[in-house]
Structure 1
Amino acid sequence: MEIKRLTMHVVEMPLKAPFYTHLETVTRREAILIEVEDTSGRVGWGEASAFSTPWYTEETVATEWHTIKDILFPLVKKYPIHHPSDVSTLFKAVRGNQMAKAGVESALWDLYAKRMEQPLFEVLGGTRASISVGAVASGQTTDEMLERIQSHVENGYGRIKIKISRGHDFKVLEAIRQAYPHISLMADANSAYTIEDITHLKALDAYKLMMIEQPFEAEDMWDHRKLQGEIETAVCLDESIRSLHDTRCAVEMKACQVINLKYSRVGGITEAKRIHDYCRMKRIDLWAGGMIEFGISRAHNAALASLPGFTMPGDIVSTDYYWEEDFIEPGIFVQNGRIHLSKKPGIGFEVNRERIERKRKAVHSA
């Protein structure tokens, strides 16, 4: 692929409703949209998905801007790129900064699929033309969460996730199970607990959850192993998994039974595919997590989730779930709990440049 121009657009939009965790309440979303143009005029799109503040990982939109502008773009311009996986090797010279890397690499995957004149999910080896999806029911009160669960159930989402923390778990779960005794329910802690809470967490077994996601800090893999040995509920790791190496460590030490795979968190689609292949070989349940992302990233995520090793519904919601308008057209929509993948080349959607310009805060080309 002969690259003619690399461009990044910092965009920002308000969410239709706040997204609550015990760490942060997100009301507006910034992201960096990556545009890669080759010498034939084809354009690939990616999205760097860090948040404005470092509550989820240490990366932010500001650090992504620096890393992409001053380090990653120059590397892509300097060295020949024959296949998107080439940049995974090229970027090894840069420590961390996984979401910045994923943004650039995903744009190259879209461009590559368009050059092949194939939909991205087929280029990646996907075996499903539609995928099963779930949704998050976040809220400040139990009533608000129950209202969102009802909406998700009516829209056919195959799995419901709620956010929990110390002091905001048992009462909420009790109310949900009384109202919805049979829905597929999981709980995401976003590192709200510590190893001292094992006895407390064992009581969650009574609610027959699909899993508890990331109960401890990202670095506490050994403590997750201790917890998984004490509870019946499956432990799912999210923030702890940043690479295939992390995945192998978690599986071999039996720190989890489920992995939430976000290609943006592990540095790109190439590494995500490696993790997928490993989990499939080891029969570890896998699902595609979401990042309150715009449509470009969501389209990449949906393509990845078509691979056969994704065994559980992912966090890939409709375009109109978070936004009054998105940057892709016609948009991604859930129908009876499933998303049908586009058969058009690349991510399969047109990007609305006029909308990007209206919502853009900064732009840089190389």
Structure 2
Amino acid sequence: MKITGVELRRIAMPLVTPFRTSFGTETTREVVLVRVVTPDAEGWGECVAMAEPRYSSEYADGAADVLRRFLIPALSRYAAEPAEPAELAELDAQAAERAMEPFKGHRMAKAALETAVLDARLRARGESFGSFLGAARDRVPCGVSVGIMDSVPRLLDAVAGYVEEGYVRIKLKIEPGWDVAPVRAVRERFGDDLLLQVDANAAYGLADAHHLARLDAFGLLLVEQPLADDDLVQHARLAKLLRTPICLDESIGSAAHAAAAISLGSCSIVNVKPGRVGGYLEARRIHDLCRAHGVAVWCGGMLETGLGRAANVALAALPGFTLPGDTSGSGRYYATDITPPFVLDGGHLTVPTGPGLGVSPVPEILDEVTVTTEWIPL
């Protein structure tokens, strides 16, 4: 697949409400979008790196820089190298993945470019993202992530609103000083039938095991990433001390990491975020690995726009995704999305069936939130 050039576009999306986690509070989502242009179609990818390197070492400015200086030029160099005719004829997503492999890290930037290449390829072929990945459903159940609030009453009001909207699972962000009390309050208010889980974003240490064990009383689906992202051994020790299943998020950067975690007993559930693991091809490998070992997976979210949400919904439709993901409707985060909005229907979102991602940015809306654009010819 010949690529004419790549556009890097920076946009700023105001959030409906501030979103607070142990990493800090976001009021505006800064996003790097990647648009790959070919003679037959164009494709979009969304980089989920935050403005600051808090969730991971990646951040939006750094992602734009590595895309501009290394990853995008690598596509051109790879296509020019001697290779099999099929590789020269069609620079598909796997070829893009191989082209970017020599550069260490920067998985979120790589995921954005891989997605854009894949989107262009699939649009030209008339094939949907879901079909390509192996989706087994046309609708996926949706959960919602609720940030840390300044009071329990505010939290209860927020959860009540999401339950009324139809979300089938609630995830509460927690941190030391905001954990047992809010979880107890939500469970007492909404009862045992509410699917409830918590996300610590690596805010605790193994010394907190006794305190975290107090969460066992609330019948949670899981506790997500309680300890440091680089410590699978400590998670394995913690897993033996809690009745609540441990789910890993930041610790899983690849299928190899997932295999190590499963072997060590560090988790029994994996949160798959395509941006965190380097793209949808690697996300599918993690899904396949976990499914083969009886480990549940679900699709996490990074406050994506409709572009990233479309791809996540398609991924969440794979057969191994047996738990509701953070695939909320567009209105959870944005008053106006850059694509036609994803709207919750009976607690579910419909998997797009159009070519590629199945959605495209609305030009007028995209222009309104654009901060900068840069064209890189190939």
Q: Does residue 259 of the first structure (1) align with residue 270 of the second (2)? A: yes
Match of residue 335, structure 1, among 339, 345, 366: 345
Q: Does residue 193 of the first structure (1) align with residue 192 of the second (2)? A: no
Corresponding residue number in structure 2 for 1:278: 289
Residue 92 of structure 1 and its aligned partner are, at CA, apart by 1.2
Question: 1:143-189 CA distances to partner (integer Å, 9 max, x unpaired)?
Answer: 12111211111122111000111111111111111101220000100
Corresponding residue number in structure 2 for 1:36: 36
Secondary structure at 1:334 match in 2 = coil
Q: Does residue 160 of the first structure (1) align with residue 170 of the second (2)? A: yes
Residue 358 of structure 1 and its aligned partner are, at CA, apart by 2.0
Structure 2 counterparts to residues 63-212 of structure 1, below 5 A: 63-80=62-79, 81-138=90-147, 139-182=149-192, 183-212=194-223
Structure 2 counterparts to residues 6-45 of structure 1, below 5 A: 6-40=6-40, 42-45=41-44
Q: Does residue 230 of the first structure (1) align with residue 241 of the second (2)? A: yes
Q: In the alignment, is the contact (CA less than 8 A) between 2:310 and 2:352 conserved in 1?
A: no
Normalised TM-score (structure 1):
0.97
Question: 1:98-148 CA distances to partner (integer Å, 9 max, x unpaired)?
Answer: 100000001112112112202210111111111111001222221121112
Unaligned runs of 5+ in 2: 80-89
Question: 1:231-253 CA distances to partner (integer Å, 9 max, x unpaired)?
Answer: 11000000000011110010000
Q: Does residue 325 of the first structure (1) align with residue 336 of the second (2)? A: yes
Q: In the alignment, is the contact (CA less than 8 A) between 1:50 and 1:99 conserved in 2?
A: yes
Report the residue type matching 2:145 in the other structure. Answer: V
Match of residue 360, structure 1, among 350, 354, 370: 370
Q: RMSD over aligned Cα, in angstroms?
A: 1.1
Q: In the alignment, is the contact (CA less than 8 A) between 1:187 and 1:213 conserved in 2?
A: yes
Secondary structure at 1:87 match in 2 = helix
Q: Which stretches of structure 1, 4 residues or more, deviate above 3 A after TM superposition?
A: none
Q: In the alignment, is the contact (CA less than 8 A) between 2:314 and 2:352 conserved in 1?
A: no
Normalised TM-score (structure 2):
0.94
Question: 1:261-294 CA distances to partner (integer Å, 9 max, x unpaired)?
Answer: 0000000111111111101101101000000111
CA distance in 2 between counterparts of 1:112 and 1:308 reads 24
Report the residue type matching 1:145 in the other structure. Answer: L
Q: In the alignment, is the contact (CA less than 8 A) between 1:69 and 1:364 conserved in 2?
A: no
Q: In the alignment, is the contact (CA less than 8 A) between 1:155 and 1:335 conserved in 2?
A: no
CA distance in 1 between counterparts of 2:69 and 2:122 reads 27
Further displaced range: 78-87 or 64-73: 78-87
Q: In the alignment, is the contact (CA less than 8 A) between 1:287 and 1:312 conserved in 2?
A: yes
CA distance in 2 between counterparts of 1:21 and 1:343 reads 34
Corresponding residue number in structure 1 for 2:86: none
Corresponding residue number in structure 1 for 2:84: none
Residue 353 of structure 1 and its aligned partner are, at CA, apart by 2.3
Report the residue type matching 1:70 in the other structure. Answer: R
Report the residue type matching 2:70 in the other structure. Answer: I
Report the residue type matching 2:344 in the other structure. Answer: V
Further displaced range: 16-25 or 83-92: 83-92
Secondary structure at 1:335 match in 2 = coil
